[in-house]
Homo-oligomer: A and B are copies of this chain.
Amino acid sequence: MATETEIRFGILGCADIANKVSGAIKLAQNATVYAVGSRSLEKAKAFSAANSLGPNVKTYGSYEEVLDDPDVDAVYIPLPCGLHLRWAVLAAQKKKHILLEKPVSLNVAEFDAIVDACESNGVQIMDGTMWMHHPRTAAMREFLSDAHRFGDLKLIHTCFSLACGEDFLKNNIRVKPGLDGLGALGDAGWYCIRGILWAANYELPKTVIASEGAVLNEDGVILSCSASLHFQDGKIATFYCSFLSYLAMKITAIGTKGTLDANDFVVPFGDKPHFTTATKCWFNDVHTAWEPKPIQHPIGSDDLPQEARMVTEFSRLVREIKKGSKPEKKWPMISRKTQLVIDAVKASIENGFQPVEL
């Protein structure tokens, strides 16, 4: 049973990702899975059993029942993003704090409606971008913010691709216009764009231009695309996201005084992932090698995976709100900016790869 200080989660829907996040809620010291709702009670019960949520977890045959349970503090919403507007707004109206899977919505107008509902009802909203919460991310941020070691940001390149099989490309919700209608852009591209905005300290680009060569399925859902983002001060970012290429999740940032790389920024290779920096390097006398060489920085995660850290941070904020604090606006702000750039890339693809001003 939940203790006094644990935030009690209701899970809306039994998507694959909910297995990982329910595990994260169990790992988080300040949270507990309190209820699971599905469109069918059997599915909710099966999910609870498969994830060993224990006999005390409530199971409901509808999402409404989860929202109507007065003991639920917060909901985790892993539903297809086409359903986010409806269920997130309703959750906010029921005073439930919201951990919302990405992409947060089909477009920024929908997300604004969700945020309005959260603000009116005084509830926290945070998106489910797990890597933001890894201690490596904070260490990388520290490097990027170092005027001596990194200097001014000039270029960011990110990619996230995964080679999806035939079944996925025909049947997965991520390729269905009515469900996760943003396809690879909303799924893999979300991380690429978040990585860029994160590196740029959440400055928005002034122009976004999708690259020719985007691949759409017969329903017009994006399976693969790339784009460049152009910022006021001249810095440039490019990204590539795809369901049609092999697994890759890389971020490179080049400043005036250093560079940063991580090849596993979304899901770390293992327990002690690293990032690589170069600073004050040049060549040896005969220009045949670097001196000094770039440095690898391994970062442990204290045995708590990034998704459990995400739940912990979200639950901490909810706890603070229960004690009288205001919701943390940083999280919806960065969700919104990510969505705004997604919308711009999509618009650029739709208008024949013309620039879109933000």
Contacts and interface: CB of A to CB of B under 8 A. Distances in A.
Interface string A122-157: 000000000000000000000000000001001101
A346 interface: no
Interface string A260-281: 0101100111110000101101
A58 to B, nearest CB: 24
Contacts of A281: 247
A258 B279 CA distance: 30
B263 A294 contact: yes
Interface stretch (A38-46, A59-67, A168-176, A249-257): A249-257
Given A212-B207, A215-B234, A230-B212, A244 B256 contact: yes
Contacts of A246: 151, 154, 254-259, 278-279
A270 B293 contact: yes
A218 B226 CA distance: 32
B269 A289 contact: yes
A49 interface: no
A240 B253 CA distance: 12
Contacts of A331: none
Nearest to A227: B228
A259 B264 contact: no
Contact of A290 (B209, B259, B270, B306): B270
A259 B245 CA distance: 9
B157 A157 contact: yes
Interface-centre pick from A151, A224, A263, A283 (highest chain B CB count, 10 A)? A263
Interface size class of A (residues with CB under 8 A): 35 or more
A78 B286 CA distance: 16
Contacts of A100: none
Contacts of A236: 211, 213, 226, 240
B247 A259 contact: yes
Interface in A10-64: 19-20, 23
Interface in A196-229: 207, 209, 211-213, 215, 224, 226, 228
A105 interface: no
Contacts of A207: 212
A157 B287 CA distance: 24
B286 A240 contact: no
Contacts of A294: 263, 269
Nearest to A293: B269
Interface-centre pick from A238, A244, A276 (highest chain B CB count, 10 A)? A238
Contacts of A282: 247
Contacts of A23: 286
17 contacts: A154-B161, A154-B242, A154-B245, A155-B226, A155-B245, A157-B238, A163-B257, A211-B228, A215-B234, A228-B228, A238-B240, A242-B254, A247-B278, A248-B278, A250-B261, A270-B293, A288-B307
**Which 6 A-B pairs give the minimum distances between C-beta atoms?**
A154-B245, A270-B289, A245-B254, A288-B305, A248-B259, A269-B290
